[in-house]
Structure 1
Amino acid sequence: MPGIWNRHPRYYLLVFVVLAATLYFLVPVHYEHSVAPHFTLKDNDLPFRMARASRIYDKVLEDRKKLIKTFGPTPKDISMFPEDKYPWPPYTVWDFFPAAFNCPHEVERIGALGDGGKWVCGLSRLYDKPDCVVYSFGINYESSFEAEILHNTNHCQIWGYDFSVKSFGPEITSDISHRTHFKAYRLDGEDKFGPEDDPPQYTLETLLEKNGHKFIDILKVDIESSEFSTLTSMIKPYVARNETLPFGQLQIELHLWGKSFEEFHEWWEILEQAGLRPFWTEPNLVYLNYNRDPGYTNLAEYSLLNVRGDNIFIRDPPITITPPAQD
């Protein structure tokens, strides 16, 4: 063997190059970036991705102020959907509130294409989470969203609420129904569940207490324009107490019926103040197509991530090391 190395040094060099190249492609290379003084993170680290997404979103906040100043100059002067007149302002209300926060994981549509499905950030993070909790307000006998979550996770339980129907939709089949819970309740900003209240209505905090939950991983809300008063009543107490909202992400349909830009802008900033950041949006083109009128552009779906606290979508769970068994 020594003779081979002595007589063929190029062979040795070739082997070295092959081994080095193999290690280069097998071992991930991390490039460090400075995100703050004396603090560096790596590209594939979750904290780095969150910090980068926050910087991008902060720029959007500044751009929103500039756009309001350009066409306002104050929120009360902004039209939701400017009329067709010259010079025509090149915006709609949705341009002020883009889904500009980068989800730090995969984004995928859960549930049906078209009406019923929602865009979710990092469902894989819930795949084996033992205490996974999902709340869904607004069922309308269409449960493809809920069914797909159950099929793609091992332990998630779903609590569904809708006073206009009597159960989940047909997508909840017998093999997954044992992980669902349905009540014909109404979500609202105050509790009303006396004998004369039909349907009974509950705040989110009351339902959490009633179900023995501290936190919701995914919260879906589609309650036909009641989302504004309901979420205001829900979120303001947490902001006042400087507490983290009790959910990891929010999928919501917004109905701008009868709303001014000033009202919507104020409401949206309450969500942002509480730590919610939009990572996906799409207009409700089904509603637009059904009405056959370009004026019906005031419905949109939004998906928002809670960037406060330590929920599974923004923080890696602690690593638990089990000591070896003693003989």
Structure 2
Amino acid sequence: MPGIWSRHPKYFIFVLVVLGTTFYLLNPLSPEPQFKRLSFPYDLELPGRLERAETIYKKLLDDRRGLIKKFGPTPADVQMFPADKDPWPAYTVWDFFPAAYNCPHDIQRLGALGDGGKWVCGITRIENKQDCVVYSFGINHESSFEAEILANTNHCEIWGYDFTVHSFGPQITKSQEHRTHFYPYKLGGSNKPAVGDEPAMFTLSSLMKTNGHSHIDILKVDIESWEFETLTTLIKSYTSAGLPLPFGQLQLEIHAWNKSFEEFLSWWEMLEDAGLRPFWTEPNLVYQNYNRGATVDLAEYSFLNVKGDNVFIRDPPRTSAERKHDV
């Protein structure tokens, strides 16, 4: 050994470093890594993909609690949009609510690339669905989203509601009109008749009952901040009865005007408890462009309902022809 050391000192040191590193990595007493890696098989069936997405989302809930503690330490202490001054906290309200749930299907933007388009999880799941039902609240002369749903499905029918206009937008063609139904009603947390210039208001449950529907595949809501009252009433009516929400997914524009973080968090956690998981989000930069200097308090979210029984989280029963083909 002394001969090797004297003739090749650099080689000897290299060998010692390699051996030391090997023993350290193989040592069972080595410290655990700070973050545990999530390990999943690659080819999962739908239930496995949903389970994996839920595991990832639960980590987000832990991260949110940590962020609240860091900038709070309680929800009442967290600001929606902190002022640009020292000490400068690097967050806005949207950083607490990222769209961290993985859609288990294809994700596609339907409608205009500007204002009006929405992100949908698994449009192919309803491409040939015979009883496909879509509700759209908030039209405002822009129906590119609804038009593309009709173009990408064979049987979906759309019920549209907006008391500020008289019909769907011009994007819906004559050949598509037979699958649409429009009413100038207002969506709200209670039923109220039309009085003077004030339009009639209905709850979602009332409209579904009138239309003879027990489910909605896709629900789009853009009702200028009324979403807080409306969804609160809707969700509590179902959860208090022990029932799942009656829709498969929700495309929602959130208008966080005049809300405290504590109020917003409580409302958002109600959505989560009911089974809604956000899989896509984007700020409304069109609104921001025309209201420069204002906070970014409008954001589009797309949610998947992971509770109950809907086509996006349950595979339909196999037909006899499909079972015969397997044999």
Contact 1:287 1:296 in 2 (8 A): no
What residue is the counterpart of 1:304 in the other structure? 303
Distance 2:111 2:198 in 1: 30
Distance 1:278 1:217 in 2: 16
* Cα offsets for 1:68-113 (capped at 9, x unmatched): 1111111111000111122211111000000000000011100000
Residue correspondences, number: 286
Contact 2:204 2:234 in 1 (8 A): yes
* Cα offsets for 1:233-256 (capped at 9, x unmatched): 110111112210000000000001
The equivalences for 1:206-285 within 5 A come to 206-285=206-285
* Cα offsets for 1:15-67 (capped at 9, x unmatched): xxxxxxxxxxxxxxxxxx998xxxxx872311111000000000001111111
Distance 1:84 1:146 in 2: 40
Q: 1:168 is matched by which residue type in structure 2?
A: F
The equivalences for 1:62-211 within 5 A come to 62-193=62-193, 198-211=198-211
Aligned residue for 1:176, secondary structure, equals helix
What residue is the counterpart of 1:21 in the other structure? none
- C-alpha spacing 1:216/1:197, structure 2 compared with 1 (3 Å): farther
Aligned residue for 2:174, secondary structure, equals coil
- C-alpha spacing 1:197/1:204, structure 2 compared with 1 (3 Å): farther
Contact 1:137 1:162 in 2 (8 A): yes
- Per the TM alignment, residue 155 of structure 1 is displaced from its structure 2 partner at its CA by 0.1
Contact 1:193 1:201 in 2 (8 A): yes
RMSD over equivalenced CA pairs, Å: 1.7
Identity percentage of aligned residues = 66
Contact 1:253 1:302 in 2 (8 A): yes
TM-score by length of 2: 0.85
Gaps of 5+ in 2: 1-37
Contact 1:42 1:48 in 2 (8 A): no
The equivalences for 1:20-59 within 5 A come to 43-59=43-59
Distance 1:183 1:125 in 2: 27
Gaps of 5+ in 1: 1-32, 36-40
Distance 1:89 1:115 in 2: 30
* Cα offsets for 1:187-233 (capped at 9, x unmatched): 00000126668311000000000000000000000000010011001
What residue is the counterpart of 2:313 in the other structure? 314
Contact 2:81 2:295 in 1 (8 A): no
Contact 1:278 1:305 in 2 (8 A): yes
